[in-house]
Amino acid sequence: MPREIGTWLRDARARTLALAAALTPDALLGPRLAIVNPPLWELGHVAWFQEKWVLRHARGRPPLRAGVDALYDSTAIPHDARWELPLPSLRETVAYLGAVDRAVLDELAVLDDEQLYFVRLAVFHEDMHCEAMAFTRQTLGLAAPRFSRSEQPLATAGALPGDVQVPGGTFLLGAEAGEPFAFDNEKWAHPVDLAPFAIARAPVTQAQFVAFVEDGGYRRKELWSGGGWRWREAIGADRPAYWEPRPSTWARREFDALLPLEPHRPMVHVSWFEVEAFCRWAGRRLPTEAEWEAAAAGEPGPAGRLALKKRRFPWGDGPPTAERAHLGAQALRAIDVGALSAGDSAFGCRQMIGNVWEWTASDFLPYPGFIPDPYREYSKPWFGTHKVLRGGSFATPARLIRNTWRNFYTPDRRDPWAGFRTCAA
């Protein structure tokens, strides 16, 4: 296991360094926005988090640098203050990343299982920040980072219309006790009763969202909730983020390039408020997170009900492969929703892992008996103010994701690589 975790550490750090290498001097801090961190600060924070939990917490070592808590502790430093900090230079920050990485790798052979937990935590924290730093480049209109030497060719498989039927029954929502690592908000599997429902085989495509836009979806107040309409008016949203009209068609900005809209790729960079309005326009609804997980992990059981057994991934318990899921940033864009049939769930849903994160109808709330893990600020501060997303995106490393993994954003956010699939109303 330490050998595998060592591979994870090196891979995560290579991604972080690729993002560092892509920074130009004027992008080190970037504009002061509520939805991004200064890139230079975020690089140092990744190293600080790893040092704090592995070297200092698990191993009892002193800080490698004096004063790092005052620079990189995200709990103590308000977001707006991060642009005013006396941050080390990019060169010094990269040196700090390297020093922490070497120290952790040197410790791996002597860590026990309890201490290895914190190494996994640090890797997964870095994975999440790498994805966030990558879509920050999208937000700012910068060139795409390169995480691999050559991008995989994109699958072009067209649309995948229609619904599948998922039976009702008792479903065990959440991570089971045998999971090698689970975040506190996934703990633990508990029974929920589900009625039968119909859910789309694939996420909503850009072509489907065009129909909503061109039918006046952003102008029709009756389609929006009160909060959604206030959000739309406050930012002047009259079309999806990064879309630009062209004669008789649309284009979208991908990083620093303007591309024709691809009809069969999933809708992405869409807020929960926009999704809510689309569903009302389409006469559909979002799945709850329990429905989403049942469609992804469940299996048919006796008497036309859900089985108690569930899968770790939609296709079974085997790990993700390129034939099953579009993950790992081999190409930093989505593929057609009809691709990768080998990744189908037992009920026939496609791409429930990878390609784009999927909004659900559910508020981000604790499961019964919730107890915070040592990293107490990961989940608890955000309960009740965020919505749950599931499934991972094309930029999410395979080691991070599984059917029970819960992502969470406020409903106004449309900078992540997030889309959605719908249920019959």
Cβ atoms of residues 348 and 201 within 8 Å: yes
Full-model pTM? 0.97
Q: Give, in order, the Cα–Cα distances in Å from 155 to each of 324, 339, 344, 345.
A: 12, 6, 16, 19
Q: How buried is residue 46: exposed, middle or buried, by Cβ count under 10 Å (0-12/13-18/19+)?
A: buried
Q: Quote the CA–CA distance of 144 and 257 in Å, as a whole number.
A: 9
Say which residue the tokens 């079309």 belong to. Answer: 239
- What is the reported pLDDT for 149? 52
Would you call the peptide bond into 188 cis, given omega within 30 degrees of 0 as the criterion?
yes
Bridge partners, 266 (sequence order): 205
Domain boundaries, the chain: 2-140, 148-425
Token couple for 115: 């201490």
What pLDDT tens digit does each residue of the chain (425 aa) get? 678 999 999 999 999 999 999 999 999 999 999 999 999 999 999 999 999 999 999 999 999 999 999 999 999 999 999 999 999 999 999 999 999 999 999 999 999 999 999 999 999 999 999 999 999 999 999 999 987 654 556 767 899 999 999 999 999 999 999 899 999 999 999 999 999 999 999 999 999 999 999 999 999 999 999 999 999 999 999 999 999 999 989 999 999 999 999 999 999 999 999 999 999 999 999 999 999 999 999 999 999 999 999 999 999 999 999 999 999 998 899 999 999 999 999 999 999 999 999 999 999 999 999 999 999 999 999 999 999 999 999 999 999 999 999 999 999 999 999 999 999 99
Nearest partner of 323 among 346, 298, 297, 354, judged by Cα: 354
- What is the reported pLDDT for 355? 97
Cβ atoms of residues 385 and 410 within 8 Å: yes
- What is the reported pLDDT for 152? 58
Is CATH 3.90.1580.10 the right assignment for the domain spanning 148-425? yes
- What is the reported pLDDT for 150? 47
> Amino acid identity, residue 37?
N
- What is the reported pLDDT for 129? 98
Task: Report the CATH fold assignment for 2-140.
Answer: Four Helix Bundle (Hemerythrin (Met), subunit A) (1.20.120)
Q: Quote the CA–CA distance of 412 and 224 in Å, as a whole number.
A: 13
- What is the reported pLDDT for 3? 86
Residues near 11 by Cβ (< 8 Å), separated by ≥ 6?
397
Nearest partner of 419 among 155, 217, 203, judged by Cα: 203
